[in-house]
Structure 1
């Protein structure tokens, strides 16, 4: 009996180590095949935004895209989705961020926007001061990169449309917002205070994230993605892990209907809770395309 338990434990450990080793492979493009699929589909990890001179879409991804009939993003990119996300980005009842972070942090935040990010007092007071804390943390980093940036989903869905491909999404914008809002305002506020205290370090971290991303280092990309929100457990559980699990049936369904090119945030691919590991657990062969 003891020997059986030892062997079972060893098998589980070996399986976990195998998954980790496989998803630690440095690659952004992954082929999904097997388990009844007539043609392979592909996963491509993306960042939300990147400096234009660092924008990276390799030749092998271009070749894979040409083999597909469908491009799938996390959520829709239509007018409705943009409208709903803009609403979700703002505090309720015309509140201001100073009501959450206090006068001293508010002054520091405003100073960052006006002196380091070249935002006018008027625009900060009318626009950014009304943002939720988690949105402000992301916005600070984006503005620090300057105006010449590219958004991966916009770039690649535009390419898909020019190629006549069908575009679909894995979830509604309302679902994404619900998961994002599971990170409490208290946790968001603490993360924003951390961003204010460590603004220069946060910008430097994002530049490191871009380097890890271009190397295809999924694990380090996930780690650096979580730095601004201080690895908040609820954020990781709801916004990353639970969404990963909910996408698997959709990915299976789309891939069975037609070869599909999935554009997923790079943080959703890595480690044992990532999409790669979950698809393998469902019996698919998911291999890096070097």
Structure 2
């Protein structure tokens, strides 16, 4: 009888947990309930995208106009952000890129950066290898990429809304101290050695993003060999969990337009499911 009861409880818990997972294809969601005086909104971004694939819908602009502040993963409007980046971008304990790879691998990386990014590796010698992923995206995208976050900062400025961060720059950069630097360097090498595959994968991600299929986008992000594989807990799940009380506090203070990477939205451990488990009503906005 005990086993039967435990099985029933387990099945019931699993059914409830699955029920929290967003079923609709949407990048824009309304957050209400749990004592909120006015709704807040949650939008899934893709951090870099070609201008031909970039779009800000009228629905998004309308919902943003009904809020009083914009909350991004980090405060992209902070004038001290660049100085903070310079302080936190380097590896700890005197690590250098040359110590993480072979001489041949280093030369290969240096040659690629000079040819594709038009800068040598010397200025990035002590930078956390994940920081170097940013400049490489131009080679993956074959365009001058556009940023949803910066577009939202611009819209916020036009309506005189404050821009804040859900987490600090220091918190985000500290994540890359928890992932072994050698693993990060290996990801860099994998990316430049598999550029056609990386381009194809990113094209698939963009197609899923444009179709607003956040669950498939979440699944594909987890399987990517160019950044997330093996690092899901620190880069995705732990951050999602940490954000929930912060989102609750921020939304309780004033109606807010939250914008985070779209991979954070889907799945049982995504932001939407976690907010629903906290008692919020989270519904897709068309």
TM surpasses 0.5? yes
Map 1:201-240; keep pairs closer than 5 Å.
201-226=197-222, 227-229=224-226, 231-233=228-230, 235-240=231-236
Question: Quick check: 1:29–1:43 contact (8 Å CA) kept in 2?
Answer: yes
CA distance in 2, matches of 1:133, 1:189: 5
Q: 2:58 aligned with 1:59, yes or no?
A: yes
Q: Alpha-carbon deviation of 1:100?
A: 1.5
Question: Quick check: 2:140–2:195 contact (8 Å CA) kept in 1?
Answer: no
Partner SS, residue 43 of structure 1:
strand
CA distance in 1, matches of 2:93, 2:179: 19
Q: Alpha-carbon deviation of 1:95?
A: 6.3
Distance 1:105 1:220, change over 3 A: farther
Question: Quick check: 1:46–1:152 contact (8 Å CA) kept in 2?
Answer: yes
Question: Quick check: 2:27–2:43 contact (8 Å CA) kept in 1?
Answer: yes
Q: Alpha-carbon deviation of 1:230?
A: 5.2
CA distance in 1, matches of 2:86, 2:221: 21
How high is the TM-score relative to the length of structure 2?
A: 0.89
More moved, 90-99 vs 209-218 = 90-99
Q: Deviations over 1:16-69 (max 9, x none)?
A: 33233xx24211001101111121110000111111121122121111111111
Map 1:1-290; keep pairs closer than 5 Å.
1=1, 2-20=3-21, 23-77=22-76, 78-91=78-91, 97-115=97-115, 117=116, 119-120=117-118, 123-128=119-124, 131-146=127-142, 148-226=144-222, 227-229=224-226, 231-233=228-230, 235-290=231-286
CA distance in 2, matches of 1:146, 1:41: 36
Distance 1:6 1:200, change over 3 A: same
Question: Quick check: 2:140–2:198 contact (8 Å CA) kept in 1?
Answer: no
Partner SS, residue 101 of structure 1:
coil
CA distance in 2, matches of 1:85, 1:24: 37
CA distance in 2, matches of 1:231, 1:169: 22
Partner SS, residue 41 of structure 2:
strand
Q: Deviations over 1:209-236 (max 9, x none)?
A: 1111111121332344452445343x32
CA distance in 1, matches of 2:155, 2:12: 44
Residue segments in structure 2 that go unaligned for 5+ positions in a row: none
Q: Alpha-carbon deviation of 1:113?
A: 2.9
Distance 1:130 1:229, change over 3 A: same
Question: Quick check: 1:176–1:239 contact (8 Å CA) kept in 2?
Answer: no
Question: Quick check: 1:35–1:284 contact (8 Å CA) kept in 2?
Answer: yes
Partner SS, residue 278 of structure 1:
helix
CA distance in 2, matches of 1:34, 1:86: 41
More moved, 210-219 vs 280-289 = 210-219
Matched residue count? 283
Distance 1:145 1:238, change over 3 A: same
CA distance in 2, matches of 1:33, 1:185: 41
How high is the TM-score relative to the length of structure 1?
A: 0.88
Partner SS, residue 56 of structure 1:
coil
Partner SS, residue 252 of structure 1:
helix
Higher-helix-fraction structure? 1
Distance 1:224 1:3, change over 3 A: closer
